[in-house]
Each structure stands twice: as C-alpha cells, then as structure tokens.
Chains A and B, each alone.
Chain A
Amino acid sequence: MSNRPPGDDAGKRQRTSTKLTAHRGLATWGERLVPLGEFRDAAAAAGQELSAAARATAAAAHRQPVDDATPIEGPFGRIVAFGGVYNNHFALEALLAEAAGCRAEAIYCLGDLGGFGPNPEKVRPLLEEGGVLGVQGNYEESLATGREDCNCGYTDPRDNEFADLSYRYTADRCSPETRRWLGSWPLRRRVRVGGQELLLVHGSPRRINEFLFASTSPVPFLDVLFDEQRCDGFLCTHTGLPWHRRLPSGRDAVNVGVIGRPPNDGATDVRYALIEAGADGLEVQLRSLAYDHQALAAEMRAEQLPEEFVETILTGWWTTCLEILPAKERAASRF
C-alpha cells in the first residue's frame, strides 16, 4: 500500500491521544461517530430473527446430506490405504510387499503421487502391477487438468516456491499418457469394511485440498461431516500427518498419512493404514514402514532436487511447508 500521504509524527501522536477518549457515548458507524443508541438501534433492526421452527429448518437445510452415487466396493475384511507417494517409488515398493504379506484384500491410494521426490514415471508401473485402486489428489487433479500449480493450498510464499518447484519437476516429466491415466481416477470412493461404509477421499470429504489435522478436526465437526456424507467413517491424507479419532458416535476419522516422506517425527520411517473389520467395528492401525531411504536420497541428489527435501528424508524432520501446521502439530515439530 503506497498511496499513503507522509504523516507528521507529532500530529499523529496528537490524534492518537484524542482517539483514546473520542468515543465516550459514541459509536463508530462506518466512518462516522454517532450516538451509541443510534448504532445499536440500527444493528438491532438489521438482519433477520427467525422463529425457533424456522431456525431448525434453516439449520437442517444447511447440513443437507449430499447426494452421492459413488458405487460401493467390497465388503472387505482387511484393506491397506496410503497417500502421498510424492514419487517415492522405494517406499511404494516396500508398501506393496507389506500389503501382500498381510494379505490385504484391496489396496487404496488416496492421491498425491508426484512432487518432492525423483522420477515420477517410476510410480505408475508399480501401482498397476500392485492392482492399487486410486483416488485423485490435488496433484493428480492439477496434472490431469493442466493447471499451472499443484493447488496445495499453502499461504507462505516460501512454501509455495518449493511446492511450485517440485510440481514443475513432476509435471515436466509426466507423460500425457500418465496424465490421462491419473485423470481417470475418481475423486472419491466408497468402500465397505466389515459392516462399515467408509468414504475414501484425498483432503476432506468436501474439498480436495482441505487440511485435516488432528488438532483442528474437532468431534462435532466430524460428526456433521459424517452425517452430510452418509458414511460410517472416512480415510483421507493430504497433510502428511497420520491420526485416527474414534468418535463417541462410533464412527472413525482416519488420516492415513503419507508414504512419500516421514511424518515430521525425527525418524525415517513413513506411515500407512491397515484397516480391518473387528468385532467392535473397525480396527485401525497406523503402521510404520521402513524403506531404503538412503537410495531415495541419493536419487534425489542425482536429480538435483532441493537439499531441503533430501534432509527431510534423511532426518525425518520437515524443512518446508511448516507454516500450515496448527499450534500443536508445530510444537511437535523440530523446525
């Protein structure tokens, strides 16, 4: 904002001290000072005051359940779900071996295949061979639609710079064929595990790039989401930090984490979710996965990806995109 007339300091001090007492008995209405009563009367008359019945109707209309014709898959007894591959084909290989080892009946990827890591074209054959079923992330959506950025939803310019850099790296190396394949993935899936119908999405059930962190996803909010989406639980990713909350209503909110980089905990393992039908509803395990992170770091360096990214792989601490973390998640973070 440079359309400011240069002020004289003495004048400003003068004005500040008059402001300290200027409002006695007066209210600010836009740029004017008016008697308090005048403002309050106008405020009281503005807007609408509905009857109790009309309020109940308005609230119900606001929480109107969505019409969702997504076909239901399953039922399964045991599934594996993971997100955020970020081109980490080493972790993806390890994940597929684990999923086979624990006899998962279906394997779901919740999106964000690219960015951060090296050589995006190594991921697709692994997913195809493993029979992985996908949900589009903001990355896939951006790649498939030819967007200029990854729509990650960062506010800090430094975060956006890193996000841009890794998006361009991936976009430049992604064949039209792969883009089309990613574009064919659905934005959501519905999967039955035991008696529960789960919604599988990337960010949140309502927005592809909404960040659902444990400390900012309160129980009443989640309950309203479940009602709106008519599901018994959801699996999401996008933030990179795994968590699971069993609601008093018996429904489960699960962020499955990502396999592309560690969950900012100072160790090199990544996370995925093993979801099983149990006697008392879902059994959710957020499992650690070791993989050849040294090989990944070497390949990232060979591709001249930012050293900040390599450091995260080797130390387990995030070095970028920290500004999006809420207070609790940031407090647990090294940087």
Chain B
Amino acid sequence: MIDPASSDAAPLVELRSLDTLWFQVGGTVCNLACTHCFVSCSPTNHTHEFLRLDEIRGYLDEGAALGVREYYFTGGEPFLNPEMEAILEATLRVGPANVLTNGLLLDPGRCRRLRELDDASDYSLDLRVSMDGYEAAANDPIRGEGTFERILQGVRNLVHAGLNPVITVTEVHDDNGTVRGKERFFQLLRELGIAKPRLKILPVFQIGAEVERGGAYASWQRLRSGDAPVDGWDHLQCSTCRMVTDQGVWVCPILVNEPGGKMGEALADTLDPFALDHPACWTCHVYGVSCKT
C-alpha cells in the first residue's frame, strides 16, 4: 500500500472527469520504427494488437454514459487498422475525434474519405501528423530513410482534400520547439499550401526506444507527494483521461508498456485514483505535457 501521507510515496492523482478517451487502435504495430518512439512500436511489435470496431463500440457507449468529451486514436499507426475509417465514422456520431498518424498511409483516396466523414459530422475530426524536423536531414535519422518526403506527400494529400492537419513535433532536436524552429515549421507548412498552419510541440519521453537513443531517466526523476503543486495534480492528463488497448483500460497513453499502467477491463473499473510512481510522470509534471491537441 502506498501511504499518501508520506512525502516519499508516489502521489495519487484523482480522475476528475473522464474527458478524453484514448484508443490504441493501431496497437504497437507501426510501419515505422522511430528511434525515439516511447511505445517502441515497429512492424513486428504485437505487445498490443489492433482494436476491433465492435470492441470500440462498447467503449464508445460506456464513454458516452460517463460524459466523455473527445476521442483520440493512436498506435502504432492507426491507419494500418483495416477498420479505421469505420471506427472514425462510428466515433464521429457521438463526439469529436483526433487521429495521431505518421502520415505515410494518407493517400488521396483515404484523404477524400476522411473529408467526407468530417463533412458528415457536427463534431471536429482533427488529424495530427508527426514530423521530427523541418528538413529531411533532421527528420529521417529519427523516423527512417525517405520518410520526410513521404510525410510531406501525405500532408499535401490532406490539404488537397481540404483538411488541415496539426503537425506534431517532438523536441528530439534542440531547436524544434524554439521560436526560430517553430517559424521554420510554419514556413514549411505554408510552402505546402497550408494558409493556416497548426503546430504542436511535445517533449520526449525517455522510455521505450528512446532509452537507447537518448538515455533513460535518472533515479531522482520521480514524483513524490511533497512535489504536489498548490492546485494539486489537475494539470496532468491522467486526471481527465484513460486509454483503451486490446488488453484493457490503462491510465494514460504513455504507460501502455508497463503492466502497472493497466487499471481494468471496463472504463468503470478505472475511475479510482492512480499512483504516479513512474519516471515518465516526472516529464508530464515538469513539462506540463498533454498529448491532447
């Protein structure tokens, strides 16, 4: 048992409200194997498998009854899941959807269909495309040879279909998140014909494949009860989210490779507080991370 009174114990975060429900719809299967991937995804990583539409329907119903505000889809690569478009169609009937994709499978036909799904719903469909540098020389060593050009092609196809993605960048390079770095990304997006560029910068989680690339956490990088800010832990996304994978419901999109992050089978099993005893929680706290758009 963790004693919340001890300042050395991991603090507990309450689930304030279940606002954001994540689906690891692509499992840990990805057509890339990025060197910084904190879930260590790859073409052969089946730690978590694809989620099926019928499984997702059950969670959509349960989520709606609990008052979920928005749904996020990630992986691995969501569009490897053969049911992905049907899943989005079902989701957009009950709420807004966000898809985190590497952009490689965004061919013109798919982009057109995504546009149709968007047009048919009152709710927003937000696509987030990941990129790790504003030029191939910075992106490709992380995401793989030739990926920069392929990502750009996916973005162009989205733009052509009238969809405006949020480009998601990690701070894997020092200048990605600086004012100058952001300006370079905005410039690149304008060159692709995006008049209203949208950008989201995320820090790197030092877990998964990233350990080998950038190094693991140091032992001091842990949260203790004494670290609690005056407003409590409400700034952490796990105070308002849960993550569904084919192996059940987990606390957040980050800790899916730690069995300790698994909380239950149904959403109702996971409404209790969670102990922040993983070093990744330190990154969430210190950097104020939210994986949300």
A220 to B96, CA, bound (A): 12
Nearest chain A CB to B134 CB, angstrom units: 17
Binary per-residue interface labels of chain B (249-293) against chain A in the complex, 1 for a CB within 8 Å, 0 otherwise: 100000001111111111111110000000000000000000001
Residue B145 at the chain A interface, CB threshold 8 Å: yes
| Chain B residues with CB below 8 A from A330, complex form | 164, 196, 198
Q: Is the CB of A62 within 8 A of B66?
A: yes
Q: Is the CB of A327 within 8 A of B258?
A: no
A24 to B172, CA, bound (A): 27
Nearest chain B CB to A212 CB, angstrom units: 9
Residue B169 at the chain A interface, CB threshold 8 Å: no
* Chain A residue at smallest Cβ distance from B92: A218
Residue B64 at the chain A interface, CB threshold 8 Å: yes
A329 to B64, CA, bound (A): 23
A22 to B15, CA, bound (A): 36
With contact pairs A16-B33, A58-B269 given, residues A43 and B164 touching in the complex (Cβ less than 8 Å): no
Residue A59 at the chain B interface, CB threshold 8 Å: yes
| Chain B residues with CB below 8 A from A7, complex form | 141, 213
Residue A224 at the chain B interface, CB threshold 8 Å: yes
Residue A5 at the chain B interface, CB threshold 8 Å: yes
Residue A122 at the chain B interface, CB threshold 8 Å: no
* Chain B residue at smallest Cβ distance from A324: B293
Nearest chain B CB to A252 CB, angstrom units: 16
Residue A323 at the chain B interface, CB threshold 8 Å: yes
Nearest chain A CB to B1 CB, angstrom units: 15
Quick one: which of A1-25 are within 8 Å of B by CB? Answer: 1-5, 7, 9, 12-13, 15-16, 19-24
* Chain B residue at smallest Cβ distance from A42: B259
Q: Is the CB of A327 within 8 A of B126?
A: yes
| Chain B residues with CB below 8 A from A55, complex form | 266, 268-269
Interface of B is mostly: loop
Residue A29 at the chain B interface, CB threshold 8 Å: yes
Q: Which of A36, A216, A219 contacts B47 (CB 8 A)?
A: A36
Nearest chain B CB to A218 CB, angstrom units: 4
Q: Is the CB of A28 within 8 A of B259?
A: no
Q: How many residues of chain B have a CB within 8 Å of chain A?
A: 76
Binary per-residue interface labels of chain B (162-189) against chain A in the complex, 1 for a CB within 8 Å, 0 otherwise: 1110000001101000010000000000
Residue B44 at the chain A interface, CB threshold 8 Å: yes
A13 to B247, CA, bound (A): 32
Nearest chain B CB to A265 CB, angstrom units: 15
| Chain A residues with CB below 8 A from B135, complex form | none
Q: Is the CB of B211 within 8 A of A31?
A: yes
With contact pairs A28-B39, A48-B264 given, residues A220 and B271 touching in the complex (Cβ less than 8 Å): no
Q: Is the CB of A63 within 8 A of B215?
A: no
Q: Is the CB of B268 within 8 A of A24?
A: no
Q: Is the CB of B47 within 8 A of A28?
A: yes
| Chain A residues with CB below 8 A from B43, complex form | 20-21
With contact pairs A46-B259, A46-B262 given, residues A1 and B269 touching in the complex (Cβ less than 8 Å): no
Q: Which of A28, A30, A221 contacts B45 (CB 8 A)?
A: A28
With contact pairs A1-B171, A327-B125 given, residues A13 and B44 touching in the complex (Cβ less than 8 Å): no
Residue B248 at the chain A interface, CB threshold 8 Å: yes
Residue A248 at the chain B interface, CB threshold 8 Å: no
* Chain B residue at smallest Cβ distance from A56: B268
| Chain A residues with CB below 8 A from B122, complex form | 214-215
* Chain B residue at smallest Cβ distance from A216: B96
| Chain A residues with CB below 8 A from B124, complex form | 213, 215-216, 326-329
Q: Is the CB of B66 within 8 A of A23?
A: no
Residue A225 at the chain B interface, CB threshold 8 Å: yes
With contact pairs A12-B141, A20-B44, A22-B44 given, residues A50 and B268 touching in the complex (Cβ less than 8 Å): yes
Residue A331 at the chain B interface, CB threshold 8 Å: yes
Residue A47 at the chain B interface, CB threshold 8 Å: yes
Q: Is the CB of B207 within 8 A of A31?
A: yes
Nearest chain A CB to B117 CB, angstrom units: 12
Q: Which of A45, A48, A59, A221 contacts B69 (CB 8 A)?
A: A221
Residue A101 at the chain B interface, CB threshold 8 Å: no
* Chain B residue at smallest Cβ distance from A228: B67
| Chain A residues with CB below 8 A from B164, complex form | 327, 330-331
Nearest chain B CB to A319 CB, angstrom units: 12
| Chain A residues with CB below 8 A from B213, complex form | 4, 7, 12
* Chain B residue at smallest Cβ distance from A38: B259
With contact pairs A21-B44, A31-B211, A59-B268 given, residues A220 and B64 touching in the complex (Cβ less than 8 Å): yes
Residue A49 at the chain B interface, CB threshold 8 Å: yes
Residue B13 at the chain A interface, CB threshold 8 Å: no
With contact pairs A1-B171, A327-B124 given, residues A50 and B266 touching in the complex (Cβ less than 8 Å): yes
A56 to B65, CA, bound (A): 11
Nearest chain B CB to A187 CB, angstrom units: 16
Residue B108 at the chain A interface, CB threshold 8 Å: no
Binary per-residue interface labels of chain B (196-222) against chain A in the complex, 1 for a CB within 8 Å, 0 otherwise: 101010011001110111111000000
Return the 3 tightest CB-CB contacts between A and B, nearest first: A224-B67, A220-B64, A55-B268
Interface residues of B (CB under 8 A from A): 15, 17-18, 28, 33, 35, 39-40, 42-47, 63-70, 94-96, 118, 122-127, 141, 144-145, 162-164, 171-172, 174, 179, 195-196, 198, 200, 203-204, 207-209, 211-216, 247-249, 257-271, 293
Can you list 26 contacts pairing A with B, beta carbon distance less than 8 Å?
Answer: A1-B172, A12-B213, A19-B42, A19-B209, A22-B42, A27-B45, A27-B46, A29-B259, A31-B207, A36-B46, A39-B259, A44-B248, A46-B262, A46-B263, A49-B265, A155-B200, A215-B96, A215-B123, A216-B96, A218-B95, A218-B96, A220-B95, A221-B68, A223-B67, A323-B198, A331-B162
